[in-house]
Amino acid sequence: SQKIEQNSEALNIQEGKTATLTCNYTNYSPAYLQWYRQDPGRGPVFLLLIRENEKEKRKERLKVTFDTTLKQSLFHITASQPADSATYLCALGAGGSQGNLIFGKGTKLSVKP
Amino acid sequence: GAGVSQSPSNKVTEKGKDVELRCDPISGHTALYWYRQSLGQGLEFLIYFQGNSAPDKSGLPSDRFSAERTGGSVSTLTIQRTQQEDSAVYLCASSSGQGPKNIQYFGAGTRLSVL
């Protein structure tokens, strides 16, 4: 069955460092991969989308890579800030009109000042 | 409205009772999704509506769960004869188009506690 793994439940880093979160998947060939941020008591908020034919996507301090050979996506936050502390979810979607995304369990990032 | 609205924000019920959870999607969004998030777990897909097409119910965990979407807008998720394992946060999302290339906008969720 399809499986998504986010490499760690929690990641603690120092302010100013680069945070790297990993999303691995098996038994799946997604056409799209999305990353969301979720704060306590809130719904997820979209951050970035990357397509299977794209290697990398950037938005301000965020960078996402997508390696369909390794079946892995990396999510980077450069110059991290305490305000970046949240849970980050990766989500995979098939091509075509299949509407639902498959979400990972998330990685809780804590950025210490 | 400006975003996806869910009500109630919290619901406490007794085992065996029925509950209804409501979702108001972003105006004009044709796709609507329901997810369940249990403590420490990821989002579990429940059901997906797209326009006038038949909904994708493949994620509903049992026949106690049902959902409808009236007039292509507001949706209600109904859980009959609630069980303690139904306790979770129920999240609704909407998107402007069909398929996973579209961004999903989430509400804040309804926290359901079954005693």
Looking at the complex, does the CB of residue B83 fall below 8 Å from at least one CB of chain A?
Answer: no
Task: Give me the residues of chain B with pLDDT under 50, please.
Answer: none
Distance from CA of B94 to the nearest CA of A (A): 11
- Of the partner residues A94, A95, A103, the one whose CB lies closest to the CB of residue B42: A103
Asked if the Cβ–Cβ distance from A42 to B42 is below 8 Å, we say no
Predicted local distance difference test score (pLDDT) of residue B33: 94
Quote the CA–CA distance of A13 and A17 in Å, as a whole number.
Answer: 7
Predicted local distance difference test score (pLDDT) of residue B70: 85
- Of the partner residues B50, B103, B108, the one whose CB lies closest to the CB of residue A99: B50
Q: For residues A80-91, b (16+ Cβ closer than 10 Å) or e, as one string?
A: beeebbbbbbbb
Backbone angles phi, psi at B5, to 5 degrees: -115, 135
**% of chain A at pLDDT higher than 70:** 96
DSSP A85: -
Predicted local distance difference test score (pLDDT) of residue B98: 73
Distance from CA of B39 to the nearest CA of A (A): 10
DSSP letters spanning B67-115: EEEGGGS-EEEEE-S--GGG-EEEEEEEESSSSTTSPPEE---EEEEE-
Predicted local distance difference test score (pLDDT) of residue A95: 58
Q: What is the mean pLDDT of chain B?
A: 92
The answer on pLDDT for A97 being more than 60 is no
Q: pLDDT by residue (tens digit) across B64-93?
A: 999 999 887 999 999 999 999 999 999 999
Predicted local distance difference test score (pLDDT) of residue B93: 96
Looking at the complex, does the CB of residue A40 fall below 8 Å from at least one CB of chain B?
Answer: no
Asked if the Cβ–Cβ distance from B4 to A31 is below 8 Å, we say no
Predicted local distance difference test score (pLDDT) of residue A96: 57
CB A49 within 8 A of CB B104: no
Q: Which chain A residues are closer than 8 Å to B48 by Cβ?
A: 99-100
